Amino acid sequence: QRLYDSVTYGLWMGHDGEGNFKVGSAEITIPPTPQCCFTELRLSESRRHAARYGRLGIGVKRPFLFQRFGRPLAYFGYGDKSQNDMFLEACRADLKDKRLLNFFKPMNSAATVLNYDLYGESEWRIIFFEELLRQGKIIDPRNSTNTKEHAYFNSLTPSQQDKLRYLIPLDGWFAMIIYPSLSIK
């Protein structure tokens, strides 16, 4: 059903809330912003990635990301033992649009041990920009003028509706579906 919904209505953009990280002695806050995440996955990492995130994959070509202002993330180490990240600190201080900090992510999930588990994801993101909405590159499923997407939104459970902010329709840059089993194919 998830595969059918993604192909029919688009990929979900949601957000998890703001991220607060300690980088050296500084606190960095990354504001919550609707986004959709992608990975540039190495074949040798596919089993580990599938165990963590699921076995269904939808592949898109890079222009799909670029046309929606998608970019690879800049990773940083964090925690007490981490050195200050001058690039992250300068961006935090100088960026007018703090949503752009969503293109940063810690290298690891544990604050005390630098193990690079998140860095291995080679993540890319598309984040919300009003221009994408105006261009039809993303769709607001809450807007009743988007008839098909609005009906889909209304069919979701309240918790799913709370997570879904926007849909990213798949277009000509949609490349492949990686099937989790022969029964799905």
Most confident of 24-28, 34-38, 104-108: 34-38
pLDDT of residue 16: 77
Query: What are the Cα distances from residue 86, in Å, to 28, 55, 107, 131, 139?
Result: 12, 37, 15, 30, 36
**92-110 residue pLDDT tens:** 889 999 999 999 998 888 8
H or E element that contains 153 = helix 147-155
Q: Hey, what are 180's tokens?
A: 């989790």
For residue 52, the 8-state DSSP code is H
Q: Name, in order, each residue with C-beta under 8 angstroms of 18's C-beta and a sequence gap of 6 or more.
A: 29, 30, 31, 32
pLDDT of residue 25: 73
Is the predicted pLDDT of residue 89 greater than 90, yes or no? no
**121-166 residue pLDDT tens:** 889 999 999 999 999 999 999 999 999 999 999 999 999 999 999 9
User: Pairing mode, if any, of strands 104-106 and 74-76?
Assistant: parallel
pTM for the model stands at 0.87
H or E element that contains 159 = helix 158-163
